[in-house]
Structure 1
Amino acid sequence: MKSYIADSKMRARIRSAAQSIDPVLSIGKNALTPEFTHSVEEYMEKHEIMKINVLKNCDEDLRELGNTIAERSNTELVQIIGRKIVLYKPAKEEKNRAF
């Protein structure tokens, strides 16, 4: 998979920006469905950063879950902190990119 994050400084800036945003989606016991993946893709068309909340009733490994979501939605896993997954995908137009 292609990496969108150029270096550790860029990753740090994305992580810093992710602190101020709220989770957009939540994953529960049904985990990954095609509808969930579609929601991620749709959101990432308009935003560069996304935070996902993983509910306690989700039994899957968080790292594996984050990597699977990133792979299916063509985004990059930035970090997992607590039960939150942060994803990144650059804006299509370079003038709209924040990172």
Structure 2
Amino acid sequence: MPHIQLTPAQRKVHRAEAHSLDPVVMVGGNGLTPAVVRETDLALQAHGLIKVRVFSDDRAERESIYQQLADQLNAAPIQHIGKLLVLWRPKPVEAREHAQDEARKPGPRDVKVLKYSKRGGQRPEVKVLRVLGNQRLTAGGKVKKARPAKTSAKKQQG
């Protein structure tokens, strides 16, 4: 499988994102084994952008490992500096949807409320309110319990 082709600008963005990352896959003395390829694939599925550390002193061997990983896993080679390899592959759609579902769960959140003065020319007062998962914020800036979920007439009878 050929690896993903990126523009230099895209590659630059991924290099900047990878700067603060730690290596998640280590390639030891046995080289590129099927277990290493499988772990790299799992890491790409989970993170999208990963660093791989190769414990080999031979630069040609590191370069071949870099190209093999990119080709076998359909990943874009981002950077090869010393013993560190940076690979990127877009996350699968299911993983992105799951991450969005996690963000949508109700929980405490801080909401800023502006209270304007009755007199003109005064600065509005900013209040930060904590709204829990079972609460809602009214138009007047007050916190109330959330409305109960409506049930159908058939469910109420049963």
Say yes or no: TM over 0.5.
Answer: yes
Q: Which runs of 4+ in 1 moved over 3 A?
A: none
Unaligned runs of 5+ in 1: none
Structure having the larger proportion of residues in strand: 2
Q: Measure the CA separation in 1 of the matches of 2:41 and 2:82.
A: 23
How far is the alpha carbon of 1:2 from its aligned partner? 4.5
Seq. identity, %: 26
Q: Which residue of 2 aligns with 1:34?
A: 34
Structure having the larger proportion of residues in helix: 1
Change (3 A) 1:82 1:63: same
Q: Which residue of 2 aligns with 1:89?
A: 89
How far is the alpha carbon of 1:63 from its aligned partner? 1.6
Unaligned runs of 5+ in 2: 97-158
TM-score by length of 1: 0.83
TM-score by length of 2: 0.54
After superposition, the C-alpha distances for 1:34-56 in whole angstroms (9 at most, x for unaligned) are 11100011111111101011114
- Which structure has the greater CA radius of gyration? 2
After superposition, the C-alpha distances for 1:40-95 in whole angstroms (9 at most, x for unaligned) are 11111111101011114x546222110011112221211101210000001122xx
SS at match of 1:66: helix
RMSD over equivalenced CA pairs, Å: 2.1
| RCO higher in structure (CA 8 A, sep ≥6) | 1
The answer to whether the 8 A contact 1:29-1:59 is kept is no
The answer to whether the 8 A contact 1:4-1:90 is kept is no
Q: Which residue of 2 aligns with 1:3?
A: 4
